[in-house]
Amino acid sequence: MDADFPLPDPDWAPACELWAGAARGVLRIPRCDGCGRFVWYPGTPCRRCGGSDVTWCDVSGRGRLFSWSVVRHAWIPQVTDRLPFVTGLVALEEDPAVRLVTYVVDCTPEALRCDQPVRVVFRRLSYPGVAHTIVAPLFTPADT
């Protein structure tokens, strides 16, 4: 396991624009240069046309909570201090086929429901034993 586990490497080329955008408070997602479709995960070929060239674009940061779970057991010791936490998938407003894995924060877990509107918030992620921190796109229930 690398020393920064479970924090990401902000310099990993396929996703560095995501972290750079988050640091500026903007959610950015790559689009296929060939067909214009959003490509997720970055670093994988476009599922519509197979293209591999992308341009990162700003998106609204709005979406819907596709699904989630409430984690009450630490399978990795680094998350022990966060328990319980809500982790799940957010379907982007611009293309619901793009599902971002994220923490759902500032919420009452019992009140969550699938497909409810959520919006991005940018928060600093840190884990015990990892020297650096990173600003990451998390999501919270949006007022309808």
Which residues bind to other proteins, rule: CB under 8 A?
1, 5-9, 12, 14-15, 18, 37-38, 40-44, 47, 66-73, 75-76, 79, 82, 85, 87-89, 94-99, 101-103, 109, 113-115, 125, 134, 136, 138
Closer residue to other proteins (CB): 26 or 125: 125
Minimum distance between the CB of residue 22 and other proteins, rounded to whole angstroms? Answer: 11
Q: Where do the DSSP E strands lie in the chain?
A: 28-32, 54-58, 62-71, 85-92, 99-103, 117-125, 134-141
Q: 14: closest CA among 50, 56, 51?
A: 56
Closer residue to other proteins (CB): 53 or 67: 67
* Residue 41 CA: distances (Å) to CA of 12, 15, 19, 30, 59: 13, 9, 14, 9, 15
Closer residue to other proteins (CB): 25 or 44: 44
Residue with tokens 């840190």: 126
Question: Is the bond into 109 cis (omega within 30 degrees of 0)?
Answer: no
Minimum distance between the CB of residue 6 and other proteins, rounded to whole angstroms? Answer: 5
Closer residue to other proteins (CB): 60 or 67: 67
